[in-house]
Amino acid sequence: MSFLNGCYRRVPSLRVRPVEEMKSCVVFRPNPPKLFMLNLNAWLIFELCDGGTSYEIEQRYRQKVEGQMSESEARRHLVIGLKNLHERGLIEFEEGLNE
């Protein structure tokens, strides 16, 4: 699996509410309306999508999960997480930036 060249950012119209006691985050997407409950891993990936390149996000993600999983496992979790968040309309991808 590989990353696309470009940057990821959270969709600006979302409403985000951390639910610390449940170790999750609730995200409301207004268009089309839908509510999502993110687990800790999805929440971490979502928060890392701040306009950084896929390489930058990968480096920060690996630092956060270091010691909890192997490097290849971390990369796999990140790729799947980015794909899922993008498919659900919670993050945007802007092509064209070189890593």
Helix (H) or strand (E) holding 80: helix 71-87
pTM of the model: 0.89
Number of domains present in the structure of the chain = 1
Does some domain include residue 48? Answer: yes
In a domain, 57, yes or no: yes
Domain assignment present for 54: yes
Which CATH number goes with the domain that contains 62? 3.90.930.60
Nearest residue to 75 via CA among 55, 89, 90? 55
Express each pLDDT in 48-83 by its tens digit.
999 999 899 999 999 999 999 999 999 999 999 999
- Residue located via tokens 């092509």: 95
In this predicted model, what pLDDT tens digit does every residue of 8-49 receive, in sequence order? 999 999 999 999 899 999 999 999 999 999 999 999 999 999
Tell me if 74 is assigned to some domain.
yes
Judge whether 14 lies within some domain. yes
